Amino acid sequence: MQRSPARIRPSSSASTPTSSSPDSAVAGLLDEWADLPAVDHHCHPLLRMSTRVERADLRRAFTEAVDPEVIGEHSQQTVVYRAALRRLAGELNCEATEEGVLRARAAEADPLAYANRLLRKSGTGLMILDHGFSGGEAMSAAEHSVAIDIPQREVVRLETMAQTAVASCANVVEWLMAVRELLMNAVNGGAVGVKTIAAYRAGLQLREPDRSRAEADYTGLRARAADGESIRLEGEPLCHLLLLEAAQAAGELGVPLQIHCGFGDPDEDLALTNPLGLRRLFVEPRFDGLKVVLLHCYPFHREAAYLASVFPGVYMDLSLAIPMAAHDGVRALEEALGLCPTSKLLYATDATRFPEVYLVAAALHREALAGALGQLVNTGWLMQSEAVEAGRQVLSGNARRIYELPE
Ligand SMILES: [Zn+2]
């Protein structure tokens, strides 16, 4: 079937001179969803409002690069950065350049009101936050819930939480039991899910962890924790034992396990982050009932879509890929929709730190969804009414169902 590039409706305020006029299916979908508050099922806290935004910060917000040379010379040359500047310029009513956006932003009198304005415009009705990442300047959960107008829930960051139990547990068995108890307490305290970054610390090729190596690794980790050093859990034996234990616990507690898959910053080895490596979680009886949400997935979104299509407890999103991969995020959504039931695809921004990111990621994600589903309408695969309903599932219904959130 011939595929033409999906056309995206530019936001009403942004001037997007390169966009052609929207086709009616795509525009119709965006209109149908315009009043639907989205559940952003995976995002991170904003920074404290006193934080100044420099040129490099704005660039870093739209790339997974950390290398100063890449940030300095190349990150501003990406499609998503240029599109983000135009969109932000529309919002800030300024010139669509880096300087223009930074100047207009610095002139905002009330940074908190500004942040809430952008977040409201993002169409977000609920944020499910991972407070475990974003650096020392990030608002705490308590600060965030007061400062930001949008309702919020939390997921527990598995590795960060597990590290806190190392100093007080003599061996791996004790440690895993302590982690179970911490998870249970977190869920009883209101956490709606568990998030793992095993992809960064060990990769996702789950085999049977080597228990004696795990004990040896643990002894070293515990000695450092006892000396008051900050510790970093890494390596397959411990990280995979932890992941398997937490997966079982999450299944028993009835909360989804979010698993970072696919691309991220270069701290991870992308070759080890294919979600196909997680097969044990989907076929072993000890994980019956477990809900697994594969986050990001790109460029393994087709593998993720396959898993979601055959295993009952598997869900996926294309957060981070949208916005970072720009127009390729739309294509990725189209590809994911090849196998993934629309009841298993979730919406998230993975936004962090700056309000600009939430707005841009949210707008581009809605547009990508409209672009991908609109394309399926235009090519006869879906009825318009089916596409409208699919978008409602993705933006809100699916997350409300799997995280058991009230309407
Ligand atoms: Zn994230």
Confidence at residue 17, expressed as pLDDT on a 0 to 100 scale: 37
DSSP 8-class letter at 155: E
C-alpha–C-alpha distance, residues 390 and 296, integer Å: 19
| Cα of 193 from ligand 1 centre, angstroms | 13
| Cα of 216 from ligand 1 centre, angstroms | 30
| Cα of 220 from ligand 1 centre, angstroms | 29
| Cα of 44 from ligand 1 centre, angstroms | 6
| Cα of 24 from ligand 1 centre, angstroms | 33
Question: How many Cβ atoms from other residues are within 10 Å of residue 188's Cβ?
Answer: 9
Query: Which structure tokens are listed for 226?
Result: 């006892």
Question: How many Cβ atoms from other residues are within 10 Å of residue 316's Cβ?
Answer: 29
Q: Of 287 and 136, which is predicted with more confidence? A: 287
Q: What is the mean pLDDT of residues 47-70?
A: 90
| Cα of 165 from ligand 1 centre, angstroms | 23
| Cα of 21 from ligand 1 centre, angstroms | 33
Under 8 Å between Cβ of 365 and 323: yes
**Does pLDDT of 254 surpass 70?**
yes
Give the mean pLDDT of the chain: 93
| Cα of 357 from ligand 1 centre, angstroms | 13
| Cα of 126 from ligand 1 centre, angstroms | 16
| Cα of 55 from ligand 1 centre, angstroms | 22
| Cα of 4 from ligand 1 centre, angstroms | 31
| Cα of 361 from ligand 1 centre, angstroms | 13
| Cα of 41 from ligand 1 centre, angstroms | 10
Local structure of 269: helix, strand or coil? coil
**How confident is residue 1, by pLDDT bands cut at 50, 70 and 90?**
very low
pLDDT digits (tens, 9 = 90+) for 207-234: 999 999 999 999 999 999 999 999 999 9
C-alpha–C-alpha distance, residues 354 and 376, integer Å: 34
Give the lowest-confidence range in 99-113, 127-141, 199-213, 236-250: 127-141
**Does pLDDT of 12 surpass 80?**
no
**Does pLDDT of 21 surpass 60?**
no
Which one-letter amino acid corresponds to residue 220?
Answer: G
**How confident is residue 368, by pLDDT bands cut at 50, 70 and 90?**
very high
* β-sheet bridge partners, residue 46: 353
Each residue of 227-253: b (16+ CB within 10 Å) or e? Answer: eeeebebebbbbbbbbbbbbbbbbbbb
| Cα of 379 from ligand 1 centre, angstroms | 34
| Cα of 132 from ligand 1 centre, angstroms | 9
| Cα of 320 from ligand 1 centre, angstroms | 8
**Does pLDDT of 6 surpass 60?**
no
| Cα of 190 from ligand 1 centre, angstroms | 19
Compute CA 245 distance to the chain's CA centroid, rounded to the nearest angstrom: 23
| Cα of 383 from ligand 1 centre, angstroms | 33
Which residues are within 5 Å of ligand 1 (an ion), measured at CB? 350
C-alpha–C-alpha distance, residues 183 and 194, integer Å: 8
| Cα of 135 from ligand 1 centre, angstroms | 13
Confidence at residue 49, expressed as pLDDT on a 0 to 100 scale: 80
Confidence at residue 51, expressed as pLDDT on a 0 to 100 scale: 63
| Cα of 83 from ligand 1 centre, angstroms | 22
| Cα of 88 from ligand 1 centre, angstroms | 22
Confidence at residue 343, expressed as pLDDT on a 0 to 100 scale: 98
pLDDT digits (tens, 9 = 90+) for 120-173: 999 999 999 999 865 668 999 999 999 999 999 999 999 999 999 999 999 999
| Cα of 93 from ligand 1 centre, angstroms | 30
Burial of residue 37 (CB within 10 Å: 0-12, 13-18, 19+) is middle
